[in-house]
Structure 1
Amino acid sequence: MSKSDSTLLLKPVLLVFGTVFAAIVVVFAINGAVAFLGGPGDAPAASAGGGEVRDLPGTWNGSKWYSEDLREQEFQYKNATAGEEVNFVPKKMNNSTLPENENRRELIREGRAIFANTSNEMPEHVGNDLSCANCHGGGDLPTTTGMVGQDIDMIPLVGTAAGYPEWTGRTQRMRDMRQRIMGCFLRSMNSPGSEEGVPAYDSREIQAMESYMVWLNKGTPSETVPYWRHIEKPEGDEKVPVSEINPVRGAELYLENCASCHGADGQGIEGQYPPLWGADSFNDGAGMGRVYTSAGFTREAMPYGAAHTFSDWEDVQDVAGFMNAHKRPHLPRQPKDWAAAGAPDEAVYYNRTQQRLGYEMNPMTKKLMLADIPIDDSEIDESVIPDNVERYDQPLRNESVDGSWETTWIRTYEDVDNSTSEDAANQSSVTAQDAVTTALATEQSTSETAS
């Protein structure tokens, strides 16, 4: 066969192969488009084994509640002797529960010590007289039971590590567990009032506290939230509008139910019960400074040892209003919280909330001032409660008192600069920050605490 004859034969062969290849490409393209655009009525694709391929979900869930039905049982199972349905058994710290690596063991032990007695273990970073155990139970306080973070009548930390990293609306960002702990220092521990401010992201202390929380988490299913996590707040008809919360009635209830432990001046008993307001308490950016949050905690955990005494939602909201009408340290960066969404109504120490509700100051503070009840750490008794307590159920926006947004401020610091970040990770080593994940956004407007 001549060269010209073979060339003539090759051309139709190439044409056939080219046509077939193009057809295959078109078929794959059409199938891909159908798979991408197909609706519920489309037939499922067949697998290589002859079975059906299961469709993937269009959306992915986040953390889910673990035994969510228990959370709906009000207080029935929120205690250490929960009965037949659930029994909360605190984990013991011993050789069988601690990791084999001695360095990890030591970090966990250190973390436990810090959680138990934070203000004594880290005085250079704590600007008040509080410890983690005041909210999470256990520790060195004689009035708490069990190992720190494992008291079911308080806010247990068991299993909570499974929920991190998490989204926080207060700062519009993701935060990991270390950042969450640092947020507690910034707010609940009032680190701006301390000598050195918020501990660094990669400090040994923060790593130790993280290690302890991870140890408490062992045995919890991944990405599940134990039913005791998060404070249950009033909802629906149970929620009293902020402007109608009555802190004057709350003062009366406080004297009856709370003053025996926390004092008629709200300053507590050193080494036993924490101060609820004043220079040695949490600052005005802390989670407990929000009335629905603190009301939920009061209802679930107070009085300590006789939890659930306050079963009525209106009562605990009035008590929370009284507690959060008082002066406390001001967090410098507080105005940057909820920069996008705006602070919620329960955040009564926030200027934008006050303005939105039609007040020139904290509405709880204004009502106490109208009733001539002290808002500082002065002692009170029944003689300060006015006869007409019901009057303070009203908003009383148009009544006049001498005060402003700054009326509740206590400045316990001057030179410590924590005004731009709850997340001191930005000022720690870049290597430590990168080790977490680039998905954890840097602090733009802070977190809580949880806190």
Structure 2
Amino acid sequence: MSQGDSTLLLKPALLVVGTVIAAVIVVFALNGLLAYLGVGAVGPAPQAGAPAASQANATQANATGNGGGAAAAGGEVRKLPGTWGGSKWYNEDLREQEFKYKDPEAGEEVQFQPKKMNDSTLPENEKRAELIREGRSLFANTSEEMPEHVGNDLSCANCHGGGDLPTTTGMVGQDIDMIPLVGTAAGYPEWTGRTERMRDMRQRIMGCFLRSMNSPGSAEGMPEYDSREIQAMESYMVWLNKGTPSERVPYWRHIEKPEGDEKVPVSEVNPVRGAELYLENCASCHGADGQGVDGQYPPLWGEDSFNDGAGMGRMYTSAGFIRESMPYGAGHTFSNWEDVQDVAGFMNAHKRPHLPRQPKDWAAAGAPDEGIYYNRTQQRLGYDMNPMTKKLMLADIPIDDSNVTEEMIPEDTSRYDEPLRNESVDGSWETTWIRTYENVGNESTSNTTASNRSTLEPQAAVSSAMQDGESAENRADAAG
């Protein structure tokens, strides 16, 4: 073969080799990019007879999920993590500083900086500005402005401060002594373990209506996701968030709960001693009957308070709020965590509206120990009813909206430090239920009346309550 012929054959061969090498480089580069983005690798599906480990890895790499996900090999399910990636707490160490927990001057990266609502802070677009102003008004006076969706006498300002309440300061959501909303929009979407899924800000607001505002007891039930009211409240929270970097959560978000040695086991919390502390520190505002003062102090239990699926109905959550914020303007009045947990136990030993979808919360794992209104928690702790309710009943202290007096409280309350599981009282899981769900609009909930329910077997009664609310539960699940 001549030298010219060899050159003619070499060029196509080099071209083929170069093409193959280029293709391999492209595949490797693409797989690297997809791996960085969290997407499955490019390439053929595993063939029959491939090693089992390879099959499983390929299946897992391509599994997706939303609180559940696609089934992987062996029936396993890939779940989303409990913490949403990308969010970062600013100055998280500030949460350990005891009485400086809500210091508005603390921190170097994000400081608590409320702002006034005026032309310089509102958007230039008048329609957007109008929606923000409307959202502020709804947060401040929720039960008055949305009575068709609020089944009690509460408003968002009762927990978040501000509004028209004479007992709080500043614009709603900007009171450092309550649960401020400044900058909290940066934390959404977020994972919620209660319904085991992601929720956005609108769904979070809807969840407050469902639980804290007791919307199942209202004329029309929970407001719709795309309603003007929910959009307005979302717009106000976004406006409050201006100035907070994206996906950076301020240190004052959420309630600091007792941890480690600070946390009293549920069965050892003493609501009878809590009754004594309540009369000394809380009754001057919220009343000996817990019903508050109209337009000033909210009811803490009874028909006009939050229902038994609300976050404030969980003992450690409410204890954290009481410790940080109560009495208003004088947080940390209670000398230690034990005191404030006893007060929270007393508050949450009382009757309140029952949320029909409540048994579906934490469907897989069961409610946490602090969820003392939840039947599965009560059973897990060895009780047939709310353990705090049982202790008050044993002490002959009323659990309804009757006045509590000093004469009712035993001189020695130490007995109620004990679990008292084996003591007998006339009650069950339903003892704390107040049923306010007759003729609710949009078929969101409808409980049987107390007289009719008394003829049902307990399990049938629970099933009935759950089924009655099913038409609205698909909307409520994510909102929870």
Decide whether the 8 Å contact of 1:326 with 1:376 is kept in 2. Answer: yes
Q: What is the CA distance between 1:330 and its match in structure 2?
A: 0.1
Q: What is the CA distance between 1:89 and its match in structure 2?
A: 3.8
CA distance in 2, matches of 1:270, 1:256: 21
- The residue type paired with residue 323 of structure 1 is M
Residue 230 of structure 1 aligns with which residue? Answer: 254
**SS of residue paired to 2:100:** coil
Decide whether the 8 Å contact of 1:183 with 1:422 is kept in 2. Answer: no
Q: What is the CA distance between 1:342 and its match in structure 2?
A: 1.0
Residue 398 of structure 1 aligns with which residue? Answer: 422
Decide whether the 8 Å contact of 2:444 with 2:473 is kept in 1. Answer: no
Structure 2 counterpart of 1:282, from 294, 298, 306? 306
Matched, 1:351 2:375: yes
Change (3 A) 1:22 1:270: closer
Structure 2 counterpart of 1:148, from 172, 177, 183? 172
CA distance in 2, matches of 1:30, 1:116: 56
Residue 72 of structure 1 aligns with which residue? Answer: 96
Change (3 A) 1:25 1:129: closer
Deviations 1:356-380 (A, max 9, x none): 0000000000000011110000001
- The residue type paired with residue 444 of structure 2 is N
Residue 236 of structure 2 aligns with which residue? Answer: 212
Structure 2: which 5+ residue stretches go unaligned?
36-82, 446-465
CA distance in 1, matches of 2:345, 2:85: 36
Decide whether the 8 Å contact of 2:391 with 2:420 is kept in 1. Answer: yes
CA distance in 2, matches of 1:339, 1:195: 28
Change (3 A) 1:29 1:224: closer
Decide whether the 8 Å contact of 2:84 with 2:191 is kept in 1. Answer: no
Residue 18 of structure 1 aligns with which residue? Answer: 16
Deviations 1:343-395 (A, max 9, x none): 00000000000000000000000000011110000001111111220001111
Change (3 A) 1:31 1:291: closer
1:314-393 maps to which residues of 2 (within 5 A)? 314-393=338-417
Q: What is the CA distance between 1:187 and its match in structure 2?
A: 0.2
CA distance in 2, matches of 1:90, 1:422: 41
CA distance in 1, matches of 2:314, 2:473: 26
- The residue type paired with residue 414 of structure 1 is E
TM-score (normalizing by structure 1): 0.84
Decide whether the 8 Å contact of 2:94 with 2:251 is kept in 1. Answer: yes
**SS of residue paired to 1:260:** helix
Decide whether the 8 Å contact of 1:263 with 1:269 is kept in 2. Answer: yes
Deviations 1:390-418 (A, max 9, x none): 00111110111110000000001123333
Q: What is the CA distance between 1:14 and its match in structure 2?
A: 3.0
CA distance in 2, matches of 1:382, 1:66: 45
Q: What is the CA distance between 1:310 and its match in structure 2?
A: 1.6
Q: What is the CA distance between 1:244 and its match in structure 2?
A: 0.6
Change (3 A) 1:64 1:87: closer
Decide whether the 8 Å contact of 1:202 with 1:425 is kept in 2. Answer: no
Q: What is the CA distance between 1:15 and its match in structure 2?
A: 3.6
**SS of residue paired to 1:14:** helix
Deviations 1:13-47 (A, max 9, x none): 4344334544555677789999999xxxxxxxxxx
**SS of residue paired to 1:75:** helix
Pick 1 or 2: higher relative contact order, CA cutoff 8 A, min separation 6: 1
Structure 1 counterpart of 2:444, from 418, 441, 445? 418
Matched, 1:166 2:190: yes
Decide whether the 8 Å contact of 2:139 with 2:156 is kept in 1. Answer: yes
Change (3 A) 1:422 1:148: farther
Change (3 A) 1:352 1:141: same
Matched, 1:96 2:120: yes
- The residue type paired with residue 412 of structure 1 is T
CA distance in 1, matches of 2:147, 2:30: 62
Decide whether the 8 Å contact of 1:201 with 1:425 is kept in 2. Answer: no
Q: Percent identity?
A: 79
Change (3 A) 1:400 1:82: same
Decide whether the 8 Å contact of 1:367 with 1:392 is kept in 2. Answer: yes
Change (3 A) 1:405 1:28: same
Residue 198 of structure 1 aligns with which residue? Answer: 222
Decide whether the 8 Å contact of 2:90 with 2:251 is kept in 1. Answer: yes
Decide whether the 8 Å contact of 1:201 with 1:424 is kept in 2. Answer: no
CA distance in 2, matches of 1:157, 1:143: 18
Matched, 1:267 2:265: no
Decide whether the 8 Å contact of 1:164 with 1:175 is kept in 2. Answer: yes
Structure 1: which 5+ residue stretches go unaligned?
1-5, 38-58, 428-442
Decide whether the 8 Å contact of 1:167 with 1:175 is kept in 2. Answer: yes
CA distance in 2, matches of 1:108, 1:25: 54
Q: What is the CA distance between 1:68 and its match in structure 2?
A: 2.1
**SS of residue paired to 2:198:** strand
Residue 160 of structure 2 aligns with which residue? Answer: 136
Decide whether the 8 Å contact of 2:153 with 2:299 is kept in 1. Answer: yes
Q: What is the CA distance between 1:328 and its match in structure 2?
A: 0.1
CA distance in 1, matches of 2:170, 2:23: 67
Root mean square deviation, CA, Å: 3.0
User: Which aligned segments of 4 or more residues in structure 1 are displaced greater than 4 angstroms?
Assistant: 6-13, 23-37, 79-87, 419-427, 443-446
Q: What is the CA distance between 1:282 and its match in structure 2?
A: 0.1
